[in-house]
Structure 1
Amino acid sequence: MQRSKMLKLVWASLFTWLMAMGCGAPRLATDVSTETKSRLTVSAATSLQDVLDEIAHQFINAHPTIAIDYNFGASGALQRQIEQGAPVDIFFAAATQPMDELEQQDLIEPHSRQNILRNRLAVVAPLDSPLAIGDVSQLDAMRVSRLAVGEFRSVPAGQYTQQVFENLNLLKAFHSKFVFGNNVRSVLAAVESGHVDLGIVYATDAAISQQTKVLMTVPANLHRPIIYPIALVQGSGQPEAAQAFIDFLTTDIAQSIFQDFGFGAI
């Protein structure tokens, strides 16, 4: 018990530094006013960054006394931060596994857990790439020397990609060609820069890029369903405000914004 309290104190004082070293410093998503009564820290998958920034404006209009600090990163890395006592109110992951593991450790409030969104994988290439593909099984025959993917251990997009290559019996053949990114946006950046021939990212990330083109959407039967769960983290100091944010994400307003950014409804 004493160790747990000590970890939380250490995290409270070093959180900004650790984010800068890992997933990026927490970012203010809503303006602070003199009327603000609650400030929430939301740790969310990197692929949610643009859509949650947009939703924040709508949320603060509906709840002007609640401010949001977003902490974006790979879901696996965010999970580890919560396990280590990071002062987080809400976890919004890009896969069910990190949430399952936190729930097994009693680190989230089970009653607050909801599945919010779906997504797809897309194969992307630089805009000037001559490569073309009609079926994902053709990857083996393509002249690809470098393929950017999410890190298999901690990045859900990478884990889904690993499942695709395993199901196609291509994992061994591409082992030396993989260029790993620590989150899905770093994978997209590698493709945009032209440093790799192809990349596999979420369809929602591909849709916002102006420097890549989508060659194809990966068939959903080649990987586990891409589900985004959200939950209140155990020990949040403001559970009512946190639950208000979770509830807002299920409203017609928020769901419409998610759909505008290419996410699918549950």
Structure 2
Amino acid sequence: MKSTQLKQFLRFTTASIFGMALICSPSFAADNEQVTVFAAASLTNALNEIGQQYEKEHKTKVIFSFASSSTLAKQVTNGAPADLFISANQKWMDYLIEAKAVDVSSRKTLLKNTLVLIAEKDSPITEVTLNSDWDIKAALQGNRMAVGDPDHVPAGQYAKQALESLNLWKTAEPLLARANNVRAALALVEQGEAPFGIVYATDAKVTQKVKIVATFPATSYSPIEYPIALVKQESTASAKAFNEYLQGTSAKNVFEKYGFGVN
């Protein structure tokens, strides 16, 4: 794929973050409660299902805004009206703790994940041995490998750690297609724009258009953890209730269905 085309694809892959979440949400009666959750893009499918489940059981509308953890964390510090924040790494939760933007006493590590290498479903590649002998340049055949941008996207930062651990980063770095979040990286592989991508195992699980061709050694990157916290403001009873629900059995069953490890 030509470089200009790839840049255009990456530019428009990520939809509007907060505005679209609000615009597309069904309106509820004024006397109904509402909770706004800012969450890492990799949680999209699981949280949407949990939100729908919760709405059926309670008079509360749950609105989600999904993007890279860095984008959402910066929005929270700038005063975006979020009630809960769920990050795909500890770093961006630390950032909000330091900014005094979340309630530190409510912080908890909710989920875990793993890192995998994917290829398009119809790719002739069925398995890749991940070690320092892997010839990335030859494998890509003039194309690029899709990842979340390692400069700010947690999935990309984990990918960088793993590639550095395997002595592959120096070769891989100039060959990366840097996406705005992990789901955008997944989309590049789904649509045949990149022959390989590095995503979370849970991302590969939600689509039939890709396959896992390798799993990165757990020792090659920091533990992938998803901390949750109430945004520091006058937390509503509804926000606290949904926070508790996310840590309960019903939500746990959904998270596990999508492949997350639950603490």
Q: CA offset at residue 149 of structure 1?
A: 0.7
Which residue is 1:209 aligned to?
Answer: 207
The alpha-carbon distance between structure 1 residues 255 and 27, as it changes in their structure 2 partners (threshold 3 A), is farther
Q: CA offset at residue 127 of structure 1?
A: 1.5
Which residue is 2:44 aligned to?
Answer: 49
Structure 2 residue matching 1:180: 3-state secondary structure:
strand
TM-score normalised by the chain length of structure 2: 0.87
The alpha-carbon distance between structure 1 residues 55 and 127, as it changes in their structure 2 partners (threshold 3 A), is same
Q: Is the 8 A contact 2:36 2:62 kept in 1?
A: yes
Q: CA offset at residue 32 of structure 1?
A: 4.7
Structure 2 residue matching 1:176: 3-state secondary structure:
helix
Q: Is the 8 A contact 1:24 1:73 kept in 2?
A: no
Q: CA offset at residue 21 of structure 1?
A: 4.7
Determine the C-alpha separation between the residues in 2 that align with 1:164 and 1:60: 39
TM-score normalised by the chain length of structure 1: 0.86
Aligned pair partner of 2:129 in 131, 135, 143: 135
Aligned pair partner of 2:56 in 56, 61, 74: 61
Q: CA offset at residue 224 of structure 1?
A: 0.4
Q: Is the 8 A contact 1:164 1:222 kept in 2?
A: yes
Structure 2 residue matching 1:139: 3-state secondary structure:
coil
Structure 1 residue matching 2:167: 3-state secondary structure:
coil
Q: Is the 8 A contact 1:114 1:229 kept in 2?
A: yes
Counterparts in 2 of 1:1-266, with a 5 A limit? Answer: 21-22=16-17, 25-27=20-22, 32-34=27-29, 36-64=31-59, 66-137=60-131, 138-140=133-135, 143-144=139-140, 145=142, 146-236=144-234, 238-266=235-263
Over the matched positions of the two proteins, sequence identity in percent amounts to: 37
Q: CA offset at residue 61 of structure 1?
A: 2.9
Q: CA offset at residue 24 of structure 1?
A: 6.5
AA aligned opposite 2:162: V
Cα RMSD for the two superposed structures: 2.1
Q: Is the 8 A contact 1:232 1:239 kept in 2?
A: no
AA aligned opposite 2:122: D
Unaligned runs of 5+ in 1: 1-18
Q: Is the 8 A contact 1:29 1:68 kept in 2?
A: no
Determine the C-alpha separation between the residues in 2 that align with 1:148 and 1:20: 18
Q: Is the 8 A contact 1:112 1:231 kept in 2?
A: yes
The alpha-carbon distance between structure 1 residues 23 and 125, as it changes in their structure 2 partners (threshold 3 A), is farther
